[in-house]
Amino acid sequence: MGGTKKDIEAIGKTIDKLYTGHCTGLKAYEILKGVLGDNIEYFPTGRSVTI
Q: Nearer to Fe ion by C-beta: 1 or 23?
A: 23
**Binding of Fe ion at residue 49 (CB under 5 A)?**
no
Chain centroid, CA 9 distance in Å: 10
Q: How many CB atoms lie within 10 A of CB 30?
A: 13
Three-class SS of residue 12? helix
Chain centroid, CA 18 distance in Å: 6
Q: Nearer to Fe ion by C-beta: 37 or 44?
A: 44
Q: Which of 22, 25, 27, 47 binds Fe ion (CB under 5 A)?
A: 22
**Binding of Fe ion at residue 26 (CB under 5 A)?**
no
Residue ranges in contact with Fe ion by CB under 5 A: 22-23
